[in-house]
Each structure stands twice: as structure tokens, then as C-alpha cells.
A and B are shown apart, each in its own frame.
Chain A
Amino acid sequence: GGMLAVVVLLLLAAAGPGRAERDVLREELLLSPLPDGDVAATFQFRTRWDADLQRGSVSHYRLFPKALGRLVAALGVRELHLALTQGFWRTRVWGQPPLQAPAGAELWVWFQPTVTNVDKAWKELSNILSGIFCASLNFIDSTNTVTPTASFKPLGLANGTDHHLLRYAVLPREVVCTENLTPWKKLLPCGSKAGLAVLLKAERLFHSSYHSQAVHIRPICRDASCLAVSWELRQTLTVVFDTFSSGQGKKDWSLFKMFSRTLTDACPLASQSKVYVDISPKNKEKELLEVTPPPTSVHEATVQGDKRTYAVYDLLSPSLFNTSRSLNVQLKWKRPQDSSDLPTPVLHAQRYVSGYGLQTGEISTLIYNTHPYRAFPVILLETVPWYLRLYVHTLTIITKGKENKPSYIHYQPAQDRKRPHLLEMLIQLPANSVTKITIQFERALLKWTEYTPDPNHGFYVSSSVLSALVPSVIAMKDVDVEHSPLFTSLFPSSDGSSYFVRLYTEPLLVNLPTPDFSMPYNVICLTCTVVAVCYGSFYNLLTRTFHVEEPSRGGLAKRLANIIRKFRGVPPL
């Protein structure tokens, strides 16, 4: 009886509707000390699933989270990128980011060509994601969604890119906190119980200068021949710990100091679990950084045009936990680092709003190309809300004192209360130059119900996006996604001579003129009074005619006076 049950179960398991497809989890933590003493920690959890989500025939979810899998299948999503960020990555001081996201919430999605009503699918998607991640993504509507034509090309497999299938929205006012982190952690196969995710404790993660958590879903080639499609889910979390607030003023870091936790084991479901520490020597000298305990191996890679050396700790290797039960990676500086050798990144940008008063203003963007001899083009995408009315005839682009005409410009003007401005330009940046892009705007007066509860705080303008293929000095080899670290394989590299960079500028805060919110009744009454004055005067003049005044019998006062006079015996008035 029991034997029979076991045999039946085995048969069922073997002949079930589609065997459970193979899914693979890799987790990785990259610790990079930043030039000014801060340290950046980037977690990446990558689940690769050899299943075809689009066919909708999948029913058994193992490592891939069911919530996201069902979403992709039901709404015809081809690529999804959602990032929730608090803080701003200071490119100038910290260098080029591995993966940057704008402040607030950013969502961009490519839909399958089979989706007929993309706007409807987009609305449903943002509402469902809002529920999954406890973020107010339901505020994404047509007033902050744009369809870029040149930026945000697909990062995964794509055949034909009709940009009408792309939607991009940013909510710059969105705040990231623990209630966004918890559902994000829940999507991980091991949760926060084993592996690298045990380090993700909210009270340390949010005590930082920069915190960005993202979810990227895209289809990739299953193997080199690319005959079948696999789905990849990457969950990335980047956090920058500040020397002074978290580091107590000292530049020595350790896992315990950063996360108040140490690593005890790898996630049992992961096929690879590694910690990389960037120990690249600056200026071709000997290493400045000493790591303890000694790493399992040393890995060299060319990342973003730079040769870098990494100390690798493989959590799955049995030798790591021999000496102690827990792994606490410690970084010590061998000698004090001068602040003078801060390397400037090749491409960085800055944006600010200028002007005074509440009527007009000007948005200025400065883009710096610090490469000594190579020029390269950059695509700038600006999304400005409709209540800042841009005047594209005031757009000026000046490089080195001369006008710089963009080779491609796509401008979609805003419609009041319906869609924002979209400005996309392809600008050539000459070597070693600063390009200044300015555009003037007018501030609109909104209806009193359209202001936020704190109207004098101002309105946010989302970050503009710069996408560029930055030329690299060192030739980069083609990256084999399966065998190289995760942090090298997010962006596809077209050729070895340049690498793809997406930068975001600062979000802007702009004040609008406000009406007096306490006055609706008063205003309605006063304005209607003025209209009534006109109506009344005209009514009198139109319906009445002139008459000679008849002597009246007198008013009430006169009659009373006459009565009193009669009593007195005096003649009446």
C-alpha cells in the first residue's frame, strides 16, 4: 500500500505537466571603497529560469517569485525595471556608478508586441507593482509617463524595437523606507534568512547616504546559440555608507561595522555565492587596501574602462568557514589616502534651476566630458511636468563658448493635465569640455485642488537621464554572462572599445505661485458680485424708463413727524 503510493508519486513527479524547468540562483556582494573614504556595497541576486513565461504554461514556481512571474505572463511584459532610490549618487566624488537610479521611484517597461492596449497594461502594471512593493506607484498616470524614442533601449533580447511599446515614468517625490525593503527581501529565494541577504537589516541600510533597491526582469539567451529564451530576474541593492555617520570618522570598514551582522553561510539554493572586494591599486602603485581574512582567490576584470582587481570570498568553498563560524570581511587602509588623487569620471553631469520670482525660470544642465582626447555623443532625456511650460525656442546648447547643435532632437510638448514635456537630444561632447544646456520655462497657476498638501515645499522635476557609450582606454573582452561576476554583465557591451553608462542628474525642486487656499467661497461670492453689478446696472438701464418724479407722500419719518405735528396743532410738512 505504502510502496504503491510512493511509486505513484514518483511516476507523477516524472510525468507531470512539464517538468519543473531548471532555475539557477547566483548571489553576489561587491564592496567598493570610494575615493573619499565612504564605501559602497552592491548586492545582486540573479535568478535565471529556463522557462518560457510568455506561453503561460508555467505553473510550478521554485526560485523565481510567483508574483513577478504571473505579472510578466499576464500583462505581456518583455522587460521590467523598477528602482526605488533614496539619496543621490555623487558621480563627481564617488566615480561612475555600477548601476544608478534617480531619486524616488523609477519604472520603465517594454511590452510585448502582442499587447494591443499598452496604456491599459501600463496602468494595471503600475497598480500591481504598487501592491507588491508597498510603494505609491499607483500615482503613475499619463501626467508623468513618457514614451522615449532614443533612450532606454531594451537590455535583454529584443527583435525589433517599436518605441511605442516602451513606457517610462519617475515619481521623484517617492520616499523609500523599511516597508519597501521587506517585500523586496521576500522575493528572494532564501528570504533574509540565509546567504548574503542576512546582511540586509533596515536600520543600517537606511542610515546611509544612498540606498537604491531595484528589480530587473528581462529575457536572455538560454545558451550561446540563442535558440531558446530564459528569463532573468535581478534584484540589486546598492547602499553607500558614509564615513562620518556610519563609520564614526574612521575609514576602516568591516561587514560588522556596515551591516551589524556577519556572514555565516551561503544560501542553500544558490549555485554561486561570492563576496567581491575592490582592492584595485590607484595610480599603479601597490595596494592601498588590506583585507582580512585572506580571500579565497583574486579576480581581475576590466570594468568601465578600468582594470580592476578584486579579492573574492567564495561562500560555497569549504575552506572559508574552517577557522571561524562567521565571515567578517575587514578593509584596512595601509597608508592614509590623499584626497588629491580623486579620479574624475569621464562623464558626469549637474543640473540646476535658476531665475528668481514665481513667474519664470531656467533649467540648466552642465555635462562634463573629462576624456583627454576622445569625443563621444550622449543622449539626454528630460521629462518636465506640464505646469512648467517649456519654451523650446529658448533652448541653447553651448560648448566651449560656441553653439552646439544636436544631431537628433525629439520634442513632445506637454498638454495641460494630460502629459508632460519630453525632450530627447543627441549631443556630441567634444573632448575635455563642458556643455551647458539651458531652457526657459514659465510657471503655471494650478487649481487649488491640484496642489499637494504642502504646496510651499515645491514641485519636483524628475532627474534627466544621460545615456552614453563612453570610450574606454583599455580594450574590454566580451563578457560571458554565466562565468563572470554579475556586476560586469548587466549592460550589454556592443564592442570592446566602449562601455555603456546611464547617469541621472539631480531632481529639481521648483516653487509655483499659489492661490489662497482659504478663499474659495469668498472668491466665488466676490466675483459673482462684480458680474451681478454689471447685470444689475444693465438690467435697470434696459428695462426702466425715465419718468418725471412724482411728489411722494413722504417716507415713514415724514409721516410720523406729521402725526406728531397734528397733535401739537402745527401745520404738517
Chain B
Amino acid sequence: MAAPLLLVVLVAVTVRAALYRSSLAAFISERVEVASPLNAWKRVVEALALLDLGVSPYSGAIFHETPLIIYLFHFLIEYAELVFMITDVLTAVALYLAIQDFNKVVFKKQKFLIELDRYAPDVAELIRTPMEMHYIPLKVALFYLLNPYTVMSCVAKSTCAINNTVIAFFILATIKGSTFLSAVFLALATYQSLYPLTLFAPALLYLLQRQFIPIKLKSKSFWLYTMQYAALYLCSLVVIICLSFFLLNSWDFIPSVYGFILSVPDLTPNIGLFWYFFAEMFEHFSLFFVCVFQINVFFYTIPLAIKLKEHPVFFMFVQIAIISIFKSYPTVGDIALYMAFLPVWSHLYRFLRNMFILSCVLIVCSLLFPVLWHLWIYAGSANSNFYYAITLTFNIGQILLISDYFYAFLRREYYLTHGLHLTRQDGTEAMLVLK
């Protein structure tokens, strides 16, 4: 399996290198869909220039990335393109290894449940075989590396790629079962963009499952393990934040990074829902809606944890998708990460209901974003409502995509336990509804 992966990596690196040398690189770097005030490369360069002038990068409102990024690029600024290509490759390789391991776990669990006779007798066509699962890791790596969103994010040198790498390593560490590394990478991901905090729940559920600890509130081993994991996570987070303090000798970065993510003062247009909402908000309700929108990202965790406690990796996928859609400054790089997981659920294809229309919506919206931006900002013949409308449609498309996959997943689980050919009491074919 290494050779096809290597081939995919080579193709991806070639595409990126070609784009770096072309005139499209400058055009893509300027795009608001790819570079947000949080992760634009221009702002990293500006922060390094401010440091050269003796001014703290956090004294103004220009730089909102973490001090570790300054530290990293202080030394690697000349090799920036290489760094971003390597991060993409690392993410793809990490996802490849993680999904390879995950497939083994899925297959083992399936075998176990079949032996326990948990499945209905007529679900043979729903059972997954190693043959069909063989190419999934490669497809995941392919989906990530050759996704136009990822390529654009890499060419624009958006630090979202670094965030994706850290999350990919976190997923790899979790699936491999290493508590310590999982906690460390989760702490790094939270340190960089705050929202991966919600991935604590799926990671914990997966690790508990892997250690064969039952998830019962009364169980002592459950609480012991949870405390252990939480302590590792919090300690690594504290250590990383203290390290950042010593880098620039001030706590300025906390309001500049986390205060900025949470209070959304910069209304630069992007593909998310926050910018126009707060541009048109009545001042009186601004704080209330900021709180509502931020809570919206975090509050799906507990219900999803309760519903999907047997399937923590799917939970992780849904959680990453929710973060990418509802975070305060989303970019297409964030979307690329959860889209890379879609081949893992390719066996749900037969239960998906709206795939055609949703894929059309997503593709058309992605193509319309630059068109309507140009009409608003450069041609002056459209106004901000046009771009906002496409933002709304794109986000609805993403939301329906995730809920479609969720629906298909739950439906397959039902069929597995109740049988594929359902009959009603009078013997006619039955319909399945959610009630």
C-alpha cells in the first residue's frame, strides 16, 4: 500500500509546486474564502515585520495566531512553501495510517458482533468485507491531498493547514490508543483554535472503548480513566500556554487570540455565518448573539455523545464538521478536513437521500463565491447581499450533507439489528420513519 500512497503524494506535491510558481498563487492568497483574519499568511509576515520593528505583534489588531506560529516561522520563513507542502503530506499520511487502523478495529468489532448473533439474518449485503475496505485509507489520503479546497489552502499558505495537521495527528494518536499523545495533540489543537475542545468527548469515548472500560456513570474505572485523560489534556494545555508566555514575555496573546475568536470583532467577509450577522446586528443584542452563536458550536457535543457512544469515530467526524461550519472564521481548509473522511462512510451510499442535489449545491456555491465577490467588491454591480446569500446556501448545503450522512448511518445501524427486509404486521413491505 505504500507505493500508491507515494504516488498520490507525489502528484499532490507536483500540483502544489506548479501552482506556487504560477500567477494564481497571488490571486488565491487574496481570496477571503481561503484566508481569514485568523490564518492569513499576510498577517504572519506582518507579525514578523512588527517583531523586527520592536513592536509586539499583539499590540495591534492584525495578528491573531498563536505565539508558537511566530516562533516556528521565525526560523522557517524562507522555506514557507516547503513547510506547507510537508504539513499537507503529513496530514494525509496521518489520516491514512489512522483509517487503516480504524478499519481493522471496525472489522474486528463486526466479526465479534456477528459471532454474538447481534445482527439480523438477512443483512449479508450490509456486512463490510476486507476487500471493499482495502482501498479506503488511500481514498482518504487522495480526498485530502487532491481536494481543490486543500490545494488552495496550501497555495495561500493559510495556517489552517497546520491546524489540520495537528488534528490529524490527534486522530491518529487516538485511534492507535495512546492516551498521552492524544491528550498532547488535542491540547495543541485547542491552543491553536479553541474549538477542538469539543473533540475531547469522542476521543475519550474511543479510548474507553479501546481499553474495554464500560461507559457507566457508576463505574470506578470509567471515572479514573476520564480523570487521567482530562488531567493529561489540561496539563499539556497549561504547559503550552506558559511556553507561549515566555516566548514574548506577556499575556497579550490571550485576548488577541482567544478573545478575538470568541468575540468576533473583525467582520471581514468569509464563508461563515457570523460576519454579515454581526455587521447588521443591533448594538443592544450584539453580546447576546455572540454568546448564542458560540454556544451553538459547543452544545451539540453532549447529545451526540449520548447518541453515538458506540461509534466514537463517526461522532468525531460529525463534531469536526460542526466545528468547520459554525466556527467564527471558517475557511475552505477546515471543510477539507472533514470531507477527507467521506470515503470512510462510503458504505452508507445506498442510504443517502440527497447526495446529488447537495453535491450540486456545494459545487455551484464554491464556483459562485469568487464571482459574486468580484461583482460586489470590484465591479460594484452587486452588493453584499449576493455574497451573503451564497454563504447561506453553502452552509445549508454543508449542514444537510452532514445530517444526511448521520441519517444514513443511523438507518444502517437499524437495518443491521432489525433486518434489511422489513415487513409490516400484515406482511406487506414496510417503510421506515423517524418518530
Contact = CB atoms under 8 A, between A and B. Distances in A.
Interface in A149-180: none
Interface stretch (A44-52, A120-128, A544-552): A544-552
B278 to A, nearest CB: 7
B196 to A, nearest CB: 19
A524 to B, nearest CB: 7
A220 B377 CA distance: 54
Contact of B376 (A356, A447, A513, A534): A513
A542 interface: yes
Contacts of B276: 515, 523, 527
A520 B60 contact: no
Contacts of A516: 280, 383-385
B147 to A, nearest CB: 23
B378 interface: yes
Given A448-B280, A520-B281, A534 B304 contact: no
A306 interface: no
Contact of B281 (A392, A445, A524, A540): A524
A513 B265 contact: no
Interface in B384-404: 384-385, 388, 392, 395-396, 399-400, 403
B433 A524 contact: no
Contact of B269 (A417, A445, A549): A445
Contact of A412 (B59, B281, B293, B422): B59
A321 interface: no
A287 interface: no
A542 B282 CA distance: 33
B282 A520 contact: yes
B435 A545 contact: yes
Contact of A393 (B45, B275, B293, B400): B45
A114 interface: no
Interface stretch (A70-78, A357-365, A488-496): A357-365
A392 B432 contact: no
A515 B30 contact: no
Interface string A390-434: 011100000000000000010111111100010000000000000
B222 interface: no
Contacts of B406: 537-538, 541
Contacts of A391: 42, 46, 62
Which of A412, A445, A535 gathers most chain B CB within 10 Å?
A: A445
A393 B62 CA distance: 12
B396 A537 contact: no
Nearest to B435: A547
B135 interface: no
B81 interface: no
Given A360-B30, A417-B265, A513-B384, A544 B282 contact: no
A253 interface: no
A484 B275 CA distance: 62
A20 B390 CA distance: 75
B409 to A, nearest CB: 9
A357 B296 contact: no
A515 B62 contact: no
A106 to B, nearest CB: 25
A348 interface: no
B363 interface: no
B265 A549 contact: no
A533 interface: yes
Contacts of B45: 393
Interface residues of B, number: 66
A519 B434 contact: no
Contact of A544 (B283, B395, B430, B435): B435
Contacts of A449: 283
A523 B392 CA distance: 10
A538 B410 CA distance: 12
Contacts of B278: 447
B215 to A, nearest CB: 17
Interface in B254-276: 265-269, 273, 275-276
Contacts of B275: 445
Interface residues of A, number: 53
Contacts of A359: 30, 377-378
A333 B303 CA distance: 91
B72 interface: no
Which of A411, A413, A448 counts the most B-chain CB atoms under 10 A from its CB? A413
B111 to A, nearest CB: 25
Nearest to B47: A393
Contacts of A545: 414, 434-435
A514 B384 contact: yes
A371 B56 CA distance: 39
A361 to B, nearest CB: 12
B431 interface: yes
A386 interface: yes
A149 to B, nearest CB: 13
B104 interface: no
B280 A358 contact: no
- Highest count of chain A CB atoms <10 Å: which of B50, B279, B424: B279
A549 B434 contact: no
A524 B280 contact: yes
A559 B76 CA distance: 76
Nearest to A527: B277
B6 interface: no
A540 B403 CA distance: 10
B46 A392 contact: yes
B303 A356 contact: no
A546 B414 contact: yes
Contacts of A447: 267, 278-279, 281, 283
A538 B406 CA distance: 9
A538 B431 contact: no
A389 interface: yes
B340 interface: no
A538 B432 CA distance: 18
A458 B42 CA distance: 26
B399 A527 contact: no
B61 interface: yes
A516 B279 CA distance: 9
A516 B382 CA distance: 11
A128 B233 CA distance: 57
A474 interface: no
A446 B267 contact: yes
B80 interface: no
Contacts of A416: 61, 265-266
B435 A523 contact: no
Contacts of B388: 523
Contacts of B304: 538, 542
A12 interface: no
B197 to A, nearest CB: 19
A519 B61 contact: no
A157 B218 CA distance: 80
Given A393-B49, A541-B407, A542-B303, A548 B273 contact: no
Contact of A537 (B265, B283, B303, B400): B400
A392 B53 contact: yes
Contacts of B383: 514, 516
B223 interface: no
B61 A538 contact: no
Given A445-B267, A523-B277, A386 B434 contact: no
A75 to B, nearest CB: 29
5 contacts: A392-B50, A447-B279, A519-B385, A547-B434, A551-B426
Given A409-B53, A515-B384, A520-B281, 7 more contacts: A448-B279, A520-B282, A523-B279, A524-B281, A526-B392, A544-B435, A546-B414
Interface of B: 30, 42, 45-46, 48-50, 53, 55, 59-62, 265-269, 273, 275-283, 293, 296, 300, 303-304, 306-307, 322, 325-326, 376-378, 380, 383-385, 388, 392, 395-396, 399-400, 403, 406-407, 410-411, 414, 422, 424, 426, 430-435
Interface of A: 356-360, 386, 389, 391-393, 409, 411-417, 421, 444-449, 513-516, 519-520, 523-524, 526-527, 530-531, 533-535, 537-538, 540-542, 544-551
